[in-house]
Chains A and B, each alone.
Chain A
């Protein structure tokens, strides 16, 4: 699977909020999430390659972390909630089985 495109993360969340607001974050990343259960045409098991961890933080402080198993669907979607204490940057990162880290950021301005 050398020709699989590089996973691209996408974030959807409000860019402005009031201080203390709770907002929903929707994340999506393109990834095959190969479960390790499938067999290829010659009967050999296809090795597992999934995103195993997702982390969300705000200005460097961790908000939540998710450890994913092979039962997470391809192109993993995840939505959750964050609180906006002040103007700052939310950082999201996805950790692949092969060690790659995919990152996304969203600045939120408190009005």
Chain B
């Protein structure tokens, strides 16, 4: 998990040597629990935020199930680098293709992870990326088809070490 280096988690605790005094241990514990509370407060508003943002995109359109295959690990050890891949079932022809795929992480401070805009020149509405997750949460995908239909799916990821403030 250390392939991509040069980046520390958001709560900046500098690498401390092994031996710690009792006081240091207590201080560290107090600090990290405070960080956890801050992290929770920041993350709590997100599912509604996602709903508000998708409402802006799709209005009151009915969201359909299926078509999207969203792959994420069930348990992510490191929230800084979580592999994500998706594929939307579509012929990708000139008249029937996937216009856009939007990915949201409900528990992140900024829920929008990425938006992909496809064209009929793309042979598959599929991609793989690596994302940061602040903690255990749902990742939600929306696929906008050229015909106007919107499909959605979600997947829960348990994160052991948060990618931000967890």
Contact = CB atoms under 8 A, between A and B. Distances in A.
A66 B119 contact: no
Determine the main DSSP class of B at the interface with A. loop
Nearest to B117: A65
Contacts of A83: 121-123
Contacts of A35: 10, 110, 132, 164
Contacts of A40: 12
A39 B42 CA distance: 14
B81 to A, nearest CB: 5
- Size category of the B interface is 35 or more
A83 B105 CA distance: 30
Interface of B: 4, 6-7, 10, 12, 80-82, 85, 105, 108-110, 112-119, 121-124, 126-133, 163-165
Interface string A55-81: 000100111111111111111111111
A72 B131 contact: yes
Nearest to A61: B121
Contact of A63 (B12, B112, B122, B164): B122
Contacts of A78: 127-129
Contacts of B118: 64
Nearest to A55: B117
A22 interface: yes
B110 A71 contact: yes
Nearest to A69: B112
Contact of B80 (A22, A64, A74): A74
A73 B121 contact: no
A82 interface: yes
